[in-house]
Structure formats: structure tokens, C-alpha cells
Amino acid sequence: MMIGVPPEASYLLQRLSRPNKFKSYASARSFEADCADLITLWTNLPLAPGTEEGEDMQRKLVDMWSGFVKNAVSYVMSGNPLLNYRPLLEAILASSAAVESSILTAASCSSAVSTNSECVESLTKAVVDVVAKRTAEIAALIPPLDLLQQVLMFIDLLQEYYHLPGDKMKTTGNCTSLNPILLHPLILNVVKAYTKLVERCATLFVEEVAFPTYWNIGGAPSPACILVDGVHPTIYFCFTTMISLVRAYRNSGLAGDDRSCRQVIAQVWYHGSFAMIAAVETVENSEKRKRQLEIDTLHYVLFARMFREFVGEGYFAPVTRALVKLLVTVGGCVRGGAEKEEASVHVHSCTKFVDDIWNVCPIKELEWLQLGAAARVARRDGSPNDGAFVPWSKAFVRAANVEVAREVPAGWESTCFNKLM
């Protein structure tokens, strides 16, 4: 245990104690520097307990803390809270750790706890408001992954503040969320806002961009709809857009945390499954239409399942359930029986469907790396795409599986789909 206050702590305390030090910040750099210095001071408190210097440092630090936090919160709120919250919240964590180390007097402890609690509540409300506003206004096809990542970081820091298990993000029902049993009410508010934004990104793509033409084709593909190798272009569009999203994410500066990207992709495949189910249930299906539904569904399931390793088991579980419901619905349509009749029909295992479509090999990490490398070469040299991730190309990484889907395996509709989960 160290006797006395470390020299660097004494210097920082003297510098930060100047009158009006925290009145305003001219730049983000100066704000971040003060937050870092205060983290150093709070961290050094346990090093000098029971000494005159230590008690003097404690008193001065606690006295200046509430003023700093008040002005820091004003600074964060003056801009985009999601861009500025992190230095302040990390300083709050350092203060909270010092409080819990039991070295502060009762009065000092009470003052710091109150200041910290008020700050966290203010930041949380501001973040929820920003996310809700963005959710209401979002209109772009590309999800705001940077904003989503900032919200996840905020949730992580709140979990640390409230001493909750880290990274408990998982999927509940059709939503990507944290287990509410483990959450403090303030964190739950942020999670709900985050979940709504993720789902809005997915439903915007599915309901307003990708599937309107699919819903409007009536009993058979309209003359204006040009099929690609017998497949409705909506199905290919879903796949190629999700591929582009992963590629854009990996080329960005966000690659350290891929949770938001994985969650958006999972939600797109989830909501897309129900968009296809709606097309089955709202249209009187001719034999030609049934054949089209078979081909489109088998391709959709194939493409969605290719993402299961990237998305991860936790986030992909609801997608699996949605895909099974889609298969049950379309299978019943093809058989001429209702969905509920699946259990009573004579079922058998369609090995071709299970092996080559449902159990298609997911996209591997090496293939993602090759995708990025090929894109960089194409941009540099102006060379054409090699077709490895173009699903109608013979060079497609799962071309043999696509061929199986295109030919429609005999008896696939009699598979006991619920056993696939």
C-alpha cells in the first residue's frame, strides 16, 4: 500500500481545482482530457487512505465532482449524446468504483452516489430520446450501424455500472434484446429503444423496399416481373443486400463489434419469412403460382441459412423458427392441405432438401475475407465481380446447392419441418 498521494495525482488535483475549470469546453479534446484526469484521480484514491494528504485529496475531489458532472452533462447534451457520452460515463464508473472501495467518508460517499445516479439517469433519457427520434425518422436503406454500435456500448457501460453480467444480448421472441430479468429499469428502456430501431431497419427493407413487388404479383408473376433463372428477383435482392451490408460493415471502422450488424441481418431474414408467408396466405394459388412459391421459398431458405454462422446461434434461433413456419405454410400449400394438417400427413425425410438446402454449408470466415479481398481488387483494377457471391452465377460459392433448389427436390413438402428446429 502506498503512503501519500502520488505526485501526478497531486498535480492533476491542483490543475482541476482552478476556478471555473469546468464552466465550458471549447473542444471535445479538452472535455475528454478532463474526464481522463478525473479517472486517474478516482483510481488513485485507494492508494492513500488514512493520510492527511489522502483525506485532503478526497475532500477536494468530492467537492469538485458534482460541479464537473453538472457541466459535463450540459456539454454532452449540447451535441449528440451518443458521440460524447463515453468519456463521462467512464469517469462515472471510476467514481463508482472508488465509492464501493469503502475509503470515502459517509458524507462524501452519499454525495458521489447521488451525483452519479443523477448523471446516469440524464444520459439514459437523452440516449433513449435520440434513438427514438432516429427510429421515427429513418428512411435510408443502409442501417445506421455506427449509431447502433454506440447504443450497444452505452448498454455495456450501464451493465458495468449496475454490476450486471456483460454481453447478455440475446434474442427473445422476434426481438433482439437483453434478458429483462437481468436488467435495471434504466437499461431496459435503452434496450427497448435499441430493439425498435433494429426492427425498424429490418421492416423498412422488407416491407417498403424488397417485398412490395412480391406481394403484388397476384396469382402468377406479372408480365413486368422478369425472373432470374426462374427465381423472383426479390429473393436474390435480399441475399445480395445482406452480403453488401456485411461487406460494408467489414470495410468500416466498426469491425470491432459486429453485434448490431448480425442483429439487423437476423431481423431481415426473420421478417422476410413472414412477408413470404403473407404472399402465400393472401393469394389464391394456381398450380403455376405454387410452383413459383416452391422455387422462391427453397432459395430463400437456402440463402438465409448461409448466414447462420455469421449471425450466431443466439440471434439466429428466431430466424430458424420463422423459416420452419414458412416451409410448413408453403409445404401445406403445395400439398393442397392446410398448415395444421402437417402432423397428420405421411411424412418422410427428403434427404436432398435437408442436406443441400437446410443444412447448406454456412458462409465461412475465409470466404468473408475472400469477398473483401475480391472487392478491393475490383475497385483498384476496375475488374468485374468474380461471381463468388452472385447467386445466379455459375461461380457462386454454393452453386451446387442453388441448383438443387432450382430443380425442387421431389417430396420436400412432406418433410417433417418441425423436427428441423
pLDDT in tens, 109-119: 888 899 999 99
| pLDDT value at 120 more than 70 | yes
Angle at CA 233, nearest 5°, toward 229 and 239?
Answer: 100
| pLDDT value at 312 more than 70 | yes
| pLDDT value at 5 more than 70 | no
Instruction: Tally DSSP H helices, then E strands, for the chain.
Output: 16, 2
- At residue 220, the pLDDT reads 47
Residue whose C-alpha cell reads 487512505 in the numeric block: 49
CA 262/CA 264 separation, integer angstroms = 6
CA 27/CA 201 separation, integer angstroms = 33
Please report, rounded to a whole number, the percentage of residues in the chain having pLDDT higher than 70: 81
HSE at residue 419, side-chain half, CA atoms within 13 A, is 10
Kind and range of the H or E element at 318? helix 313-335
| pLDDT value at 381 more than 80 | no
pLDDT-wise least confident of 91-105, 107-121, 133-147, 194-208: 91-105
- At residue 241, the pLDDT reads 96
- At residue 101, the pLDDT reads 77
Of 250 and 318, more confident? 318
Name the band, by pLDDT with cuts 50, 70 and 90, for residue 257.
confident
Name the band, by pLDDT with cuts 50, 70 and 90, for residue 173.
very low
Three-state SS for 177? strand
- At residue 116, the pLDDT reads 95
Average pLDDT over residues 310-338: 91
Strands 169-172 and 175-178: antiparallel
Of 128 and 47, more confident? 128
Q: What is the pLDDT of residues 8-55, one digit of tens each?
A: 777 787 788 776 666 678 788 999 999 999 999 888 776 555 666 667
- At residue 10, the pLDDT reads 75
Of 399 and 5, more confident? 399
| pLDDT value at 317 more than 90 | yes
Name the band, by pLDDT with cuts 50, 70 and 90, for residue 235.
very high
| pLDDT value at 359 more than 80 | yes
Grid cell listed for 281: 396466405
- At residue 234, the pLDDT reads 95
Instruction: Give per-residue burial for 25-35: e unless 16+ CB within 10 Å, then b.
Output: beeeeebbebb
Query: Facing residues of 178 across strands?
Result: 169
- At residue 46, the pLDDT reads 62
| pLDDT value at 254 more than 90 | no
- At residue 374, the pLDDT reads 74
Tell me if 190 sits within 8 A of 124, measured CB to CB. yes
Name the band, by pLDDT with cuts 50, 70 and 90, for residue 297.
very high
- At residue 224, the pLDDT reads 57
Instruction: Give per-residue burial for 296-318: e unless 16+ CB within 10 Å, then b.
Output: bbbbbbbbbbbbbebbbeebbbb
pTM of the shown model:
0.87
DSSP 413: G
Name the band, by pLDDT with cuts 50, 70 and 90, for residue 99.
confident
CA 152/CA 164 separation, integer angstroms = 14
